[in-house]
Amino acid sequence: MALEQDFDEGLINETVQVQDSRETAPRHPADTQTPEAAEASATETVSNLMSFMPSIADQFMQSVDAATRKLADRVEDAQSLTPHEIKAAKESFVGAMLEAAGQLMAQREWLVDEIRSFDGLWQGQVLRKIKETEAAVEAEELRIRAMTDEDSVDLSSVMRSITALNEKKAYLKGLKIQIPNNID
C-alpha cells in the first residue's frame, strides 16, 4: 500500500512537471514587430521545440521505469503472494503504463499543435516576403523603363539593372514555390 502511495505521489509530481514544462514551453513570434526580431524569435522557438522533444521521451521513460520498479518490488517475493495480490500488481502496472502512454500522447499532440501553429507563422512570413519582393520587382521594372527612355543612360547600366531584375524574379519564384497551393 505504501508503494502505491509513493508511486501515485511520484506520478502526481511528474504530471505537475509536465504541466509546468508546457507552461514554460516556447511561444510564437507573433507579437514581434520587426522582421528581424520575428526571424530571431522563430529561430529561438524552433530551438526550444527541439530541446523539448527529448524531455517528452525522458518523462515517458521515467514513468515506465517507475512502474517497472514498482512491479518488480511487489512481485520480488512471488512465492508468498496470493493470486489476488499478483492480479492487483498486474493491474497497477498496466494502469501506470496506460497513464504514461496517455501523458506521452497528450504531450505529442501539444507538440504537433505547436509545430502546426509555427508552420502557419512561417507561411505568413513567406507571404509577407513575397509581397515585398513583388513590390521591389515592380519598382525595378519601372526604373528600367525610365532608364530606357533616357538617352543619357549607358546601355551597360540598363543591362545590369535587367540582370538584377531577373535575379529578383527568380527569388520571387522560389518564394512562391515554398507556399503550397500558391496561385501565380
Alpha carbon distance 86, 83 (integer Å): 5
pLDDT of residue 32: 42
pLDDT on residue 77: 67
Q: Please tell me the predicted confidence (pLDDT) of residue 78.
A: 67
Amino acid at 111: L
pTM across the whole model: 0.47
Q: How far apart are alpha carbons 79 and 128 in whole angstroms?
A: 71
Cα separation, 42 vs 21, in Å, equals 19
| Burial (0-12, 13-18, 19+ Cβ within 10 Å), 117 | middle
pLDDT digits (tens, 9 = 90+) for 69-89: 888 887 776 677 788 888 888
Positive or negative CA dihedral for 145, 150, 153, 155?
positive
DSSP 82: -
Q: How far apart are CA 130 and CA 147, in angstroms?
A: 25
pLDDT given for residue 161 in this prediction: 92
Whole-number Cα distances in Å, 90 to 22, 51, 94, 140: 31, 35, 6, 74
Comparing CA positions, the residue from 124, 118, 116 lying closest to residue 179 is 124
Per-residue pLDDT of the chain (184 residues; tens, 9 = 90+): 444 444 444 444 444 444 444 444 444 444 444 666 666 676 777 777 777 778 888 888 898 898 888 888 877 766 777 888 888 888 888 999 999 899 888 888 888 888 777 777 778 888 889 999 999 999 999 999 999 888 888 889 999 999 999 999 999 999 888 887 655 5
pLDDT at position 144 = 92
Q: Which residue has the cell 540582370?
A: 163
Helix locations, 77-154, DSSP H: 83-149
Average pLDDT, the chain: 76
Per-residue pLDDT tens digits for 129-139: 999 999 999 99
Nine-digit cell at 121? 507563422
Residues 136, 164: contact at Cβ < 8 Å? no
